[in-house]
Amino acid sequence: MASARVDLDGNPIKAMTICMIGAGGFIGSHLCEKLMAETPHTVLAVDVYNDKIKHLLEPAGSHPWSDRIQFHRLNIKHDSRLEGLIKMADLTINLAAICTPADYNTRPLDTIYSNFIDALPVVKYCSENGKRLIHFSTCEVYGKTIGSFLPKDSPLRQDPEYYVLKEDASPCIFGSIEKQRWSYACAKQLIERLIYAEGAENGMEFSIVRPFNWIGPRMDFIPGIDGPSEGVPRVLACFSNNLLRHEPLKLVDGGQSQRTFVYIKDAIEAVLLMIENPARANGHIFNVGNPNNEVTVRQLAEMMIQVYSKVSGEPSLEVPTVDVSSQEFYGVGYDDSDKRIPDMTIINRQLGWNPKTSLWDLLESTLTYQHRTYAEAVKQAIAKPAAN
Ligand code: NAD
Ligand code: UDP
């Protein structure tokens, strides 16, 4: 299978070794799965956790890919083994980050260290050793749209020029320093600039990925089940948790913000194209999202309620949603991106990639997974206090 594979220009794809940092997370787990199932590449999987890739690692030696994946449990903050692993690999992919909004304003120091300081040695080792880097940034580097500063009734708000986000043209617009929400975006922006400068001044080969709300199975955690009870994950897991517990879904500041959601499996196809087409991917920053899947957070909640009822066979919630202020939900210093529509010109032109899955379909497969994985555990957790 693997030997017949060719790149977008018809050249055979050679097997490579990939040092994947953050391989045990949501995106990393899907990327490892794809690389093991469909390619001949070897993965040196680096993370502090491996729960989400255990199915690929265990039982040891039992999978057709067992000799192509190794797990290295290490914290890149302070581990001298990191440089050796980067040297052994042809390509490094850095996914490691603190990347849940609830942390940006409550743990701004950890957020800045994780997204900027901890990424510095990775960039340095790649540059010094002549290694290619694919670095995961975020769509949040765009911040707010230009349109959000126009009067509410301005017809210009309907003009795509004022809200579509373009890698090589849009400005990065963040809130004030007291709005610590932007600590993440700002740290990501600075590491992007550093990587870009390494490319410009030292010839480092790099690609930067800006994910636009990738969602799917294994995203984050369900509080009190496989994560802390008081933890606040990203919106898919928050709403899944509410649905599993038959609670109203909480709409922050009325759920008016807009997002475009892309299915993780579509997005992983884009990353694989970057991995296997270096001549087309190097030196570029790529938006990876699905501009056709735009909803307000309120609409997302309504759709998830409908889909969950279908896949679980349970009736819809009597009180489906409840409004909550951002201060109450996230604490002081929260702020929000108003709207995120990715321009797709660059990824289309360089890699011919387009997302395929509709929001309804991706929610159906994801909520089927959530129900199958968590419904019983949540039921037991709810029953416990009553039994005590
Ligand atoms: P995730 O939290 O599921 O995965 C990150 C992984 O990095 C975790 O497994 C974590 O243990 C690991 N990690 C963090 N710090 C580490 C360290 N010091 N040493 C070793 N491992 C460490 O997040 P994800 O959704 O998979 O996101 C991956 C990347 O994509 C992040 O850089 C994130 O900022 C970016 N991103 C993702 C999205 C999205 O839609 N999922 C959106 C924007 C940006
Ligand atoms: N949000 C919400 N209820 C929740 C969790 C999140 O209304 O229970 C909102 C949040 O304020 C934001 C959007 O959903 O407007 C997406 O949040 P997420 O945490 O997924 O990350 P973001 O897209 O902001 O990076």
Ligand 2 contact via 139 beta carbon (within 6 Å): no
pLDDT score of 387: 54
pLDDT per position as a tens digit, 115-150: 999 999 999 999 999 999 999 999 999 999 999 999
Encoded amino acid at 365, one letter: S
Candidate of 76, 86, 99, 220 to mutate for ligand 1, largest count of ligand atoms within 8 Å of Cβ: 99
Are 61 and 53 within 8 A, CB to CB? no
Asked if the ipTM is above 0.95, the reply is yes
Pairing of strands 258-260, 294-296: antiparallel
Cα-atom radius of gyration of the chain, to the nearest Å?
Answer: 21
Residues with CB under 6 A from ligand 1: 22, 24-28, 47-49, 75-77, 95-97, 99, 114, 118, 136, 138, 211, 213-214
Question: Which tens digits make up the pLDDT trace of 243-287?
Answer: 999 999 999 999 999 999 999 999 999 999 999 999 999 999 999
* Whole-number pLDDT of residue 2: 47
Give tens-digit pLDDT for 143-201.
Answer: 999 999 999 999 999 999 999 999 999 999 999 999 999 999 999 999 999 999 999 99
Ligand 2 mean position, distance from CA 49 (Å):
25
Q: What integer pLDDT is reported at residue 386 of this predicted model?
A: 57
Instruction: State whether residue 133 is helix, strand or coil.
Output: strand
At 384 the pLDDT is 83
pLDDT digits (tens, 9 = 90+) for 287-327: 999 999 999 999 999 999 999 999 999 999 999 999 999 99
Average pLDDT rounded to a whole number, residues 110-119: 98
What is the structure's pLDDT at 4?
79
Q: Please name the amino acid found at residue 212.
A: F
CB-ligand 2 contact for 240 (6 Å cutoff): no
The secondary structure element, H or E, covering residue 27 is helix 26-38
pLDDT recorded at residue 229: 96
| pLDDT 10s digits, 337-364 | 999 999 999 999 999 999 999 999 999 9
Name beta bridge partners: 72: 46
- Residue-wise pLDDT for 208-225, tens only, equals 999 999 999 999 999 999
Ligand nearest to the CA of 322: 2
Between CA 102 and CA 118 the distance in angstroms is 20
How many Å apart are CA 336 and CA 144, to the nearest integer? 8
For 49-87, how does the pLDDT look when each residue is reduced to its tens digit (9 = 90+)? Answer: 999 999 999 999 999 999 999 999 999 998 999 999 999
- Residue 3 pLDDT class (50, 70, 90 cuts): low
Please determine, for residue 382, whether its predicted confidence score (pLDDT) is greater than 70: yes
Q: Is the CB of 259 under 6 A from ligand 2?
A: yes
- The H or E element that residue 93 is part of is strand 91-94
Nearest to 131 by CA among 96, 167, 84: 84
Mean pLDDT for all residues in the chain: 97
Angle at CA of residue 136, ends 170 and 238, nearest 5°: 95
Q: Under a CB-based contact definition with an 8 Å cutoff, are residues 43 and 68 in contact?
A: yes
Atom 21 of ligand 1, residue of closest alpha carbon: 47
Q: Domain 97-377's class?
A: alpha beta
- Residue to mutate, 53, 79, 86, 95, ligand 1, most ligand atoms under 8 Å from C-beta: 95
Active site residue 369: no
